[in-house]
Amino acid sequence: MDTNKYKPDNLEKKWDVIVIGAGMGGGVFGHEMAKTGKEVLFLESGYFLSNAIEECNDSNDVCVRKKNGQWPYKVKGSTTFGQRNSFLSIGTGTGGSTSIYAAQLERMFPLDFSPRMNYPDNPDANLPEKWPINYKDFERFYQEAERLFRVTGDKDFFSSDNNSKFTDPPLLTRSNKKLFKYLTEVGLHPYRSHVACDFVEGCDGCAEVICKKGCKNDVNKICIEPALRKYNAKILTSCDVTRIGADDKIVRFVECKVNKKIVKLQGRVIVLAAGAIFTPELLLKSSSSVWPNGLCNSNGLVGKNLMWHASDIFAIKPKKASEDSISKRQISFNDFYFVDNFKCGNIQELGFNWFTSEKLREIILRKLSKFGLKISKNSFIVRIVSFFAEYRFKGATMYASIVEDLPYLENMVYLQDGEVCFKYTYKKELRNRCKALRLGLAKTIKSKYKLLLLSKRDNLNYGHACGTCRFGDSPTSSVINADNRAHDISNLFIVDASFFPSSGGSNPSLTIAANSIRVAEFVNSEWDSFV
C-alpha cells in the first residue's frame, strides 16, 4: 500500500474530524465517520504497519519495536511489587494494540454495567452504582462491532442475549476436543472463543505479534486501510501530538510535531484515543491559564482510577498425556465469573505455546541474561533444562484468566518532571479473587487434569490499562459524559479504554469498538451543532 498518497496535502485546512491515535477506539471511530463523508485526519505516533519487518526479541531499539507494532518506550511505575521501568504490553502504529492483540473479542455481561451491586462489601473501591448507559442500549453496538470484525465462535451459555452472529470457527484440535468434552462432563460450560480472525491454512493465531498471513482482523486491516482507501481519510504517521489547545468551551488546535516541525491543526471535532496511559498524559500536558491543572481536569480526576486486569497464566495438563497439545485459542468459559460470591472473570485459551523446546530455550536464556550470563541456546545446560521442562508440560495447553480490577483513586497516571508515570497498589481483595478462581478451577478439573500455575505475584495485565478518564452523568465524579464528550469542552471526545468506570472480567477490545460505533453515531446525529 502506497501510504504517501494518504498524507494530507494541506495541514492548514480545518478538518471535520481529527483522531489522535489509530488503535481500537480511534480507528473504529474514524472509520465510522469517514463512511459518512466527513473529512477525517488520523494522527498516529507510530509507523504505518503491514507485516513485521524485523525480529524483535525484547529489543530496546526504538525503531525495531515501532516496526513490529510494539510500544517503543519504557514507562515508569510504582507498584506494590516495587519500582518499574519497563515496556508495557501495548502497541503502536496503525491498529494500535490490535496489531499485537490476541483478537479475543468478548462482550461484558449486563451485571458489569451495575458494578457497585457486585461488591457490596467493598466501600473503598470508587465504583459507580451504574454505568451511564445500560447493556440493553449497548448491545446493538456489540452486534455491529462483532459483524465489523468478523468474529468467529459460538454462543456462551451464560450470555443473556441471542443477537450475536458468529462465523463458524475451525475444528477443534484432538486434544482440545477431549478437553472440551471433559469440561462439559464435569458441569462446566465451555464455548468456542470469540476471535476476530479470518482463519487460513497454517494460521497460528499470531498472539503478541503482527499477523504475517493477514488473517488476524486488527484495526489496521478492518478500519484504517478501508477509511483511507475507500472513504478518503488521511493520516499522519510518526506524528507526536504534544498539546491540545483549548479555551473554556472548545478545542482550538491540536499541536503536534511532524518531520521535526511543530504544526497546529484545526478540526470541528477532536477525538482523543491515545490509550488509558497516554490520553491522560496529553490532557495533563495541555495545561494553560484556563486549565491550570490540565485540560478537562477541573475536578482532578484525569489520570485517576487506573485499572488493569489480573491475568494468571496457567497450564491445563492431562494426568495421562498421550500426545502433545498445541494451543489454538479455541476454548473459553465463564463458569468462574462468580466463584463463592467473588466476582472474577473469563478463562480463555491463550493461543500460543511456551512449551516447545525452542521457546523454552528462549525463556531460559532471557532469565540467565538478567544475571549477566551469556550462554548459547544450544549449550548443554540450556538443552537439558529445556528438555525436562518440556517433559513436565507435555500435553499441556496454556490458559489465562481475566480477573476484574477495581478502581481506586490512589491508583493513577500522573506527570513527574514532564514524564508520564503511574502508581498502583495491589489490593488484598484482588489477590483473594484470583485465588478463588484458581482454586475453583483446580478443584473442578482435578480428576483427569492438573492446573499448573505459571504466574508471578505481580500478575497484572499491563496491556489492559483502563479507567483513567471515566465517563459518567456528573461532572464532579467523571471526566466525560455518557456520550464520551468532555463535560466542559463541547468538541472533545475520548473513545479509548480511559472511559471505563469499571473494568469487567473480559478483554476490553470489543467494548471499546462497540462504544466507538455508538459515539460516532451520536456525533453524526449532532453534526450541525459543531462549528
Tell me what the mean pLDDT of segment 432-450 comes to.
Answer: 95
Q: Which residues contact 477 (CB under 8 A, 6 or more apart)?
A: 128, 299, 301
pLDDT classification of 395: cutoffs 50, 70, 90: confident
State the pLDDT at residue 22: 97
**pLDDT tops 70 at residue 325:** no
| CB 141, CB 519: distance < 8 Å | no
State the pLDDT at residue 279: 98
Lowest mean pLDDT among 354-358, 497-501, 512-516: 354-358
C-alpha span between 439 and 218 (Å, rounded): 34
| CB 43, CB 254: distance < 8 Å | yes
Which of 7, 20, 4, 21 is closest to 91 using CA atoms? 21
| CB 325, CB 395: distance < 8 Å | yes
CA gyration radius for the chain? 23
C-alpha span between 248 and 488 (Å, rounded): 7
State the pLDDT at residue 56: 47
Domain ranges within the chain, ordered by starting residue: 11-170+197-307+464-529
Which of 28, 72, 30, 24 is closest to 47 using CA atoms? 72
> Which three cell numbers mark 79?
507498584
pLDDT classification of 228: cutoffs 50, 70, 90: very high
State the pLDDT at residue 117: 94
State the pLDDT at residue 454: 85
Of 217 and 322, the one with more pLDDT: 217
**pLDDT exceeding 90 applies to what percent of the chain?**
72
C-alpha span between 441 and 324 (Å, rounded): 22
One CATH from 3.40.50.280, 3.50.50.60, 1.10.1300.10, 1.10.1060.10 for 11-170+197-307+464-529? 3.50.50.60
What is the bridge-based pairing of β-strands 251-258 and 412-416? unpaired
What is the bridge-based pairing of β-strands 419-424 and 412-416? antiparallel
pLDDT classification of 394: cutoffs 50, 70, 90: confident
| CB 484, CB 476: distance < 8 Å | no
State the pLDDT at residue 368: 59
Cell 462483532, located at residue: 146
State the pLDDT at residue 323: 59
Interval 150-188: pLDDT, tens = 999 999 999 866 667 788 898 998 889 999 999 999 999
> Which three cell numbers mark 171?
475444528
C-alpha span between 305 and 410 (Å, rounded): 7
State the pLDDT at residue 519: 98
Q: How many CB atoms lie within 10 A of CB 125?
A: 17
Interval 339-375: pLDDT, tens = 888 899 999 998 766 555 555 556 566 655 655 666 7
**pLDDT tops 80 at residue 393:** no
Interval 64-119: pLDDT, tens = 899 989 999 999 999 999 999 999 999 999 999 999 998 999 999 999 999 999 99
> Which three cell numbers mark 320?
495421562
Give the CA distances from residue 188 to residues 158, 314, 335, in Å, rounded to whole numbers and listed in that order.
Answer: 11, 18, 6
**pLDDT tops 90 at residue 464:** yes
| Residue type for position 93 | G
Q: What is the dihedral of CA 107, 48, 351, 58, to 10 degrees?
A: -120
pLDDT classification of 33: cutoffs 50, 70, 90: very high
